[in-house]
């Protein structure tokens, strides 16, 4: 399984890291005793609470011990309540959706608007799956009609087909913290883009100190977004933390490099949801911990 690193592949000396019996921990007060008595984890998984199970399970296949430490949570954005009005009052050639959270928020606004007919372009298999319940029903008003050749926003911006040669209107419901590469890339190609910041992310603040200390002992932290990465660096800002970071894809890895991290690993096939994609992300984690000798042959 192919993956990339900003450094040469890291192979620790024999015995540096050991596989531990699989145990699942979550950040919070109930875990104080577990955190103080548990062996050091091999990897810290940091997505929002309830969204780490697939990666934990993929790592457990290789006897890699995970510590769950949610670093961010999603909250309403400044345009959350505008979405349904915009969908009700205007028509768009495309709706571009770039994450499962953006998809979930969009569906709420779309249903509140009376489920108007829309054509969706998605980034990633996991994002597309959020729409399965609607697309598999008898209601044909929502169609997932396009996905780029690589699950990246800049690729979507370069490949999205024009359904109208004269004026192609795109609605882009996004995180308030998302970059501008999609709207800028589409605008440069002549699309008329309306962006709505329908949600945002905030760091989790109630991290139990003993759990955080256990997390900092792990050789790898796995992050799924630049926001999660910044939240982690803020938590460890007072210590000299320079271990490895396994990123979900190239965008997060680029953010890690800009933030000064050196040992950065990421899969060449980005994405999370779906058995194959979650294994892609698990690959760099396995490699950097040294717990799997032949990642390509085992994942």
Look at residue 58 and tell me whether its pLDDT is greater than 90. no
> Is the separation of the CB atoms in 143 and 168 below 8 Å?
no
Contacts of residue 171, defined as CB under 8 A and 6 or more positions apart, other chains included, come to: 86, 87, 90, 92, 94, 95, 96, 194, 196
Average pLDDT, the chain: 79
CB atoms under 10 Å from CB of 34, counted, come to 16
Instruction: Name the E strands within the chain.
Output: 3-5, 43-45, 66-68, 72-76, 94-97, 118-122, 142-146, 169-175, 192-203, 220-223, 244-247, 264-267
Task: Provide mean pLDDT across the span 107-124.
Answer: 94
Q: Which of 89-93, 151-155, 158-162, 265-269 has the lowest mean pLDDT?
A: 265-269
* Residue ranges of the chain that CATH labels 3.40.50.10090: 24-71+204-293, 75-201
Q: Which fold has domain 24-71+204-293?
A: Rossmann fold (3.40.50)
Q: Which of 8-22, 42-56, 271-285 has the lowest mean pLDDT?
A: 8-22
> Is the separation of the CB atoms in 283 and 299 below 8 Å?
yes
Class of domain 75-201 as given by CATH: alpha beta
Q: Which of 230, 236, 235 is nearest to 247 (CA)?
A: 230
Total-model pTM: 0.68
pLDDT of residue 295: 27
Task: Provide mean pLDDT across the span 294-298.
Answer: 26
pLDDT of residue 145: 94
- The conformation of residue 29, written as its DSSP 8-state character, comes to G
pLDDT of residue 17: 31
pLDDT of residue 172: 98
pLDDT of residue 224: 86
């Amino acid at each position: 399984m192919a993956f990339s690193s900003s450094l040469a592949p890291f192979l620790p000396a024999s015995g540096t890291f050991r596989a531990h019996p699989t145990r699942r921990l979550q950040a919070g007060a109930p875990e104080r005793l577990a955190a103080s008595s548990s062996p050091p984890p091999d990897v810290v998984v940091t997505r929002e609470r309830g969204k780490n199970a697939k990666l934990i399970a993929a790592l457990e296949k290789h006897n890699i011990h995970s510590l769950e430490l949610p670093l961010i949570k999603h909250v309403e954005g400044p345009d959350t309540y505008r979405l349904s009005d915009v969908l009700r009052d205007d028509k768009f050639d495309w709706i571009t959706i770039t994450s499962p959270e953006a998809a979930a928020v969009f569906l709420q606004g779309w249903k509140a608007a009376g489920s108007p007919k829309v054509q969706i372009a998605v980034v990633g298999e996991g994002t597309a799956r959020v729409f399965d319940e609607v697309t598999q029903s008898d209601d044909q008003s929502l169609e997932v009609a396009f996905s780029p050749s690589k699950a990246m926003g800049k690729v979507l911006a370069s490949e999205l087909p024009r359904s109208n040669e004269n004026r192609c209107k795109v609605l882009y419901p996004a995180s308030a913290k998302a970059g501008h590469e999609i709207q800028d890339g589409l605008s440069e190609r002549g699309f008329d883009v309306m962006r709505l910041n329908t949600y945002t992310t905030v760091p989790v603040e109630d991290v139990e100190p003993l759990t955080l200390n256990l997390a900092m002992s792990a050789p790898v932290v796995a992050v799924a977004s630049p926001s999660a990465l910044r939240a982690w660096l803020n938590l460890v800002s007072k210590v000299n933390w320079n271990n490895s970071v396994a990123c979900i894809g190239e965008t997060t890895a680029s953010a890690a490099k800009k933030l000064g991290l050196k040992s950065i690993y990421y899969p060449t096939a980005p994405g999370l949801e779906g058995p194959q994609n979650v294994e892609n992300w698990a690959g760099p984690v396995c490699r950097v911990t040294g717990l799997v000798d032949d990642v390509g042959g085992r994942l």
